């Protein structure tokens, strides 16, 4: 009998979409979020309101699960004290539950863990999975922490995990940057199904983007789960290719507007400009 799947952050846009898609695919789901689930529950789904800071309740709801799809936590840039509880302590509770149950974790990481890398000017400059973390805020910093926690739990406890560095997952791209970073809902759903079904993943990193010709990102571990994106932001070029901001910081770095949020550097964009350093 297939074990249930725990889906955290189920009341968000991505969680709601995935609850329906995975239910339609025949999976049994335990949905959790700190906010109420706003839709009718899909078939084979239960919902429990849980704060990720509540470690014992996370352990209880994860009991018997074979996969944890972790979308819960603060999902945008916030002050450190706001991010700290759900994104750091909460993730610890998820991994402790996975360790106890022998469950696989899918961690919804983000492009904001590497947001201060420059946008590439060609294929040779695309980032591979082993690039340095360069978070563009406290939210991105929490995602880098989460990926490192997955690395530690794999090395120390054998907890399999897939870190998906989600680019821009929306129904369609809304500006020129998203011609590089967009991930369609359908491609995300196909990826989650592949992660659930994969025989073995170890510790894996996957760039969460559709089949976009202008992508910022290169090699990753997608072959381990047998996933290949099918959609492309290129279909929207005429609609959004001209939409850019007037902020030079936002337009220089991969993290977009997150890099300019609270930006106070003077006299240049980065240490490289001023001191010829990375």
Query: What are the catalytic residues?
Result: 139
Using CA atoms, how far apart are residues 188 and 184, in angstroms rounded to an integer?
6
Strand 29-33, strand 45-49: pairing? parallel
Distance CA 126, CA 159 (A): 29
Please enumerate, as own/partner, the contacts of 248-252 that have beta carbons within 8 Å and a separation of 24 or more. 251/119, 251/177, 252/118, 252/119
> Angle at CA 124, nearest 5°, toward 126 and 116?
35
- Spatial distance between the Cα atoms of 162 and 198, rounded to a whole number of angstroms: 11
């Amino acid at each position: 009998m297939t074990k249930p799947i725990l889906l955290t952050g189920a009341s968000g846009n991505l969680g709601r979409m995935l609850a329906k898609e995975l239910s339609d695919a025949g999976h049994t789901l335990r949905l959790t979020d700190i906010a109420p689930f706003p839709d009718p529950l899909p078939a084979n789904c239960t919902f429990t309101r849980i704060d990720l800071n509540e470690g014992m309740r996370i352990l209880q709801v994860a009991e018997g699960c074979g996969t944890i799809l972790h979308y819960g936590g603060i999902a945008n840039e916030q002050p450190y004290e706001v991010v700290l509880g759900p994104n750091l302590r909460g993730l610890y509770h998820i991994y402790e539950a996975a360790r106890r149950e022998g469950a696989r974790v899918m961690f919804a990481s983000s492009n904001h863990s590497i947001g201060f890398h420059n946008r590439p000017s060609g294929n040779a400059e695309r980032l591979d999975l082993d690039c340095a973390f360069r978070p563009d805020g406290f939210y991105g910093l929490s995602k880098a922490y989460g990926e490192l926690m997955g690395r530690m739990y794999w090395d120390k406890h054998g907890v399999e995990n897939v870190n998906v560095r989600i680019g821009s997952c929306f129904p369609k791209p809304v500006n020129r940057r998203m011609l590089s970073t967009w991930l369609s809902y359908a491609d995300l759903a196909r990826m989650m199904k592949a992660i659930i079904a994969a025989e073995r993943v170890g510790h894996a990193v996957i760039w969460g983007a559709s089949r976009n010709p202008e992508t910022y990102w290169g090699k990753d571990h997608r072959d381990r789960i047998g996933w290949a994106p099918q959609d492309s932001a290129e279909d929207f070029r005429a609609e959004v290719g001209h939409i850019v901001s007037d902020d030079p910081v936002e337009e220089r770095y991969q993290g977009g507007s997150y890099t300019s949020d609270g930006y106070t550097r003077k006299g240049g964009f980065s240490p490289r400009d001023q001191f010829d350093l990375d």
